[in-house]
Amino acid sequence: MSDSYDFDDENEGGQRKAKFAQVAAFMWKHWSSQPGKLAMVGLLFGLAIVADLSMPFASKHLVDALTAGPTAEGQQAAAWGYGVLALLALAFYMARNTGVRFHIPFASKNMERIVTDGFRDVQRFSADWHADNFAGATVRRVSRAMNAYDVISDTLVWFMIPAIAVLIGVTVLTFVQWPVIGAFTGGTILLFLAVAYLSSRFYVAEPLKRYIKADTAIGAALADAVSSNATVKAFGAEAREQARFDGVVRAWTKEANETWSRFTNAWVLQNILLWILQVGLLGLVLIEWSNGRATAGDAVFAITSFLLVSGYLRTLGENVQNLQKGIADIEDVVAYAMEQAEVVDRAGAQAFAPKNGHIAFEQVSFGYKKAAAALYSDFSLEIAAGETVALVGPTGSGKSTFVKLVQRLYDVDAGAIRIDGQDVRDVTQASLRQSIALVPQDPALFHRSLRENIAYARPDASLEEIIDAAKRARAHDFIEKLPQAYDTEVGERGVKLSGGERQRVALARAFLANTPILILDEATSSLDVATEREVQAAMAELKQGRTTIVIAHRLSTIREADRILVFEQGRIVEQGKHAELIAGHGLYAKLNAMSRGDMLADEAA
What does the DSSP assignment read for 197-221?
Answer: HHIIIIIIHHHHHHHHHHHHHHHHH
pLDDT of residue 273: 79
Task: Please check whether residue 341 is in contact with residue 126, taking contact to mean a CB–CB distance below 8 angstroms.
Answer: yes
- The arithmetic mean of pLDDT across residues 294-317, rounded, is 69
Q: Binning pLDDT at 50, 70 and 90, where does residue 601 land?
A: very low
Average pLDDT over the chain, rounded to whole? Answer: 77
pLDDT of residue 505: 85
Model pLDDT for residues 468-501, shown as the tens digit of each residue: 888 888 888 888 888 888 888 877 777 777 777 8
pLDDT of residue 599: 45
Res 2 pLDDT > 80: no
Q: Name the amino acid, one letter, at 92.
A: F
Model pLDDT for residues 344-382, shown as the tens digit of each residue: 788 888 888 888 889 889 888 888 877 778 888 888 888
Give me the sign of the Cα torsion angle 134, 552, 412, 372.
positive
Tell me how many degrees the CA angle 293-298-304 measures, rounded to the nearest 5: 150
What does the DSSP assignment read for 27-56?
Answer: HHHHHTTSHHHHHHHHHHHHHHHHHHHHHH
pLDDT of residue 513: 82
- Residues 358 and 420: their CA atoms lie apart, in Å, by 5
- Residues 135 and 51: their CA atoms lie apart, in Å, by 49
* 378: three-class secondary structure by DSSP: strand
**First CA to last CA across the chain, in angstroms?**
45
Cβ-proximal residues to 378 (8 Å cutoff; 6+ apart), any chain: 363, 364, 365, 415
The structure's pTM equals 0.64
Give me the sign of the Cα torsion angle 455, 458, 459, 465.
negative
**Thinking of the domain 16-338, which architecture would CATH place it in?**
Up-down Bundle (1.20)
Res 426 pLDDT > 50: yes
- The arithmetic mean of pLDDT across residues 56-70, rounded, is 67
Annotated domain spans of the chain: 16-338, 349-435+548-605
Q: How many residues does the chain have?
A: 605
- The arithmetic mean of pLDDT across residues 28-32, rounded, is 83
Model pLDDT for residues 377-404, shown as the tens digit of each residue: 888 888 888 888 888 887 778 888 888 8
Distances (CA, A) of 88 to 13, 81, 99: 55, 10, 16
Model pLDDT for residues 152-171, shown as the tens digit of each residue: 877 787 777 777 787 787 77
Res 597 pLDDT > 70: no
β-pair type (422-423, 517-521)? unpaired
Higher pLDDT, 333 or 605: 333
SS3 letters across 275-297: HHHHHHHHHHHHHHHHCCCCCHH
Distances (CA, A) of 53 to 83, 170, 171: 16, 7, 11
- Residues 581 and 603: their CA atoms lie apart, in Å, by 19
Cβ-proximal residues to 158 (8 Å cutoff; 6+ apart), any chain: none
Domain at 349-435+548-605: CATH code:
3.40.50.300
Furthest-apart CA pair in the chain: how many Å? 123
pLDDT of residue 5: 47
Q: Binning pLDDT at 50, 70 and 90, where does residue 526 land?
A: low
Task: Please check whether residue 424 is in contact with residue 358, taking contact to mean a CB–CB distance below 8 angstroms.
Answer: no
Q: Binning pLDDT at 50, 70 and 90, where does residue 1 land?
A: very low
Instruction: Give the count of beta carbons closer than 10 Å to the beta carbon of residue 535.
Output: 25
- Residues 383 and 358: their CA atoms lie apart, in Å, by 6
Res 66 pLDDT > 70: no
- Residues 88 and 52: their CA atoms lie apart, in Å, by 8
For the chain, what percentages of helix, strand and coil (3-state, to nearest 5) are there?
A: 65, 10, 25
Query: What are all long-range contacts of 262-268, with beta carbons under 8 Å and residues at least 24 apart?
Result: 262/199, 262/203, 262/204, 262/207, 263/204, 263/321, 265/199, 265/203, 266/195, 266/196, 266/199, 266/200, 266/203, 266/204, 266/317, 266/321, 267/317, 267/318
- 203-236 as b/e: b if 16+ CB within 10 A: bbbebbbbbbbbbbbbbbbebbbeeeeeebeeee
* 440: three-class secondary structure by DSSP: coil
Res 74 pLDDT > 80: no
- The arithmetic mean of pLDDT across residues 204-225, rounded, is 78
Model pLDDT for residues 509-525, shown as the tens digit of each residue: 888 888 888 888 875 65
Q: At what angle do helices 238-290 and 179-198 cross, to 10 degrees?
A: 170
